[in-house]
Amino acid sequence: MSATFYPTQPREPVAAPAVRLALKTDGASRGLLDGAWWPRSRDLLSELPALTDVLDPLWGRITRIAVNPEHWPVMPREIPVSGHTVKVGWFTSEIDPHKLLLLSYGTGRFDLLVIPPGTGAESAARLLAAASDHNGPPLTAGALIAAEGARHAVSPTGQALDPDEAWEYEGGAPAVSAAVTGQSGPPGPASRLIIGM
């Protein structure tokens, strides 16, 4: 009996799905944010259903959201999601442009950092970790985005900063810089829930 061996073809590495949502666990202190979401686009009609599919079982049915329209080109009044409709409100001065406020019937309010869709994977990982870390400094969504931009000497809109502008974005506060540096590894299960959507 003889055996025939065929040469194996090199295999392409299979990339794991990108993490798109990181949430503080129930035991974590509330702070200013309950986690972070990294949508694939700025289209609420297509992005919100996937988010509510994940959040409804965890937080209760999401019935309303509120956003600042600065980064969302189309603002529908309602968005159909699995089994129900989510009402949309928008406020220009009351809500941070980088935050999504979600209201769940009977459960309460949840605030998520919205990571810009074009953000690189490493920056997004740092922001996901910083916004969902229960031990991190209590920073606003805008402060986290600005700190990440300053780390790369770019503004949140992607334009290069001169050194004086970079200092202003950092605010000279070490806590802001610490919030988004060195946290790209997988977090511990006790502090956050990570979901690849």
- d(C-alpha 128, C-alpha 38), whole Å: 8
- What pLDDT is attached to residue 13? 54
Q: What is the pLDDT of residues 150-193, one digit of tens each?
A: 876 655 555 555 555 444 444 443 333 344 444 444 444 445 67
- What pLDDT is attached to residue 169? 44
- d(C-alpha 127, C-alpha 61), whole Å: 26
Rounded percentage of the chain residues whose pLDDT exceeds 90: 42
Q: What is the pLDDT of residues 64-94, one digit of tens each?
A: 999 999 999 999 999 999 989 999 999 888 8
DSSP letter for 183, please. -
Nearest to 28 by CA among 97, 110, 105, 101: 110
Q: What share of the chain is helix, strand, coil (3-state, %, to 5)?
A: 30, 25, 50
- What pLDDT is attached to residue 70? 93
Nearest to 151 by CA among 128, 131, 171, 135: 171
Q: What is the pLDDT of residues 104-132, one digit of tens each?
A: 987 889 999 999 999 999 999 999 998 98
DSSP secondary structure, 73-129, as one string:
S---SEEEETTEEEEEEE-TTTS-TTEEEEEETTTEEEEEEE--TT--HHHHHHHHH
Least confident of 6-10, 38-42, 79-83, 175-179: 175-179
Give 96's Cβ-side CA count (13 Å radius). Answer: 20
Q: What is the pLDDT of residues 131-162, one digit of tens each?
A: 988 776 678 899 889 888 887 665 555 555 55
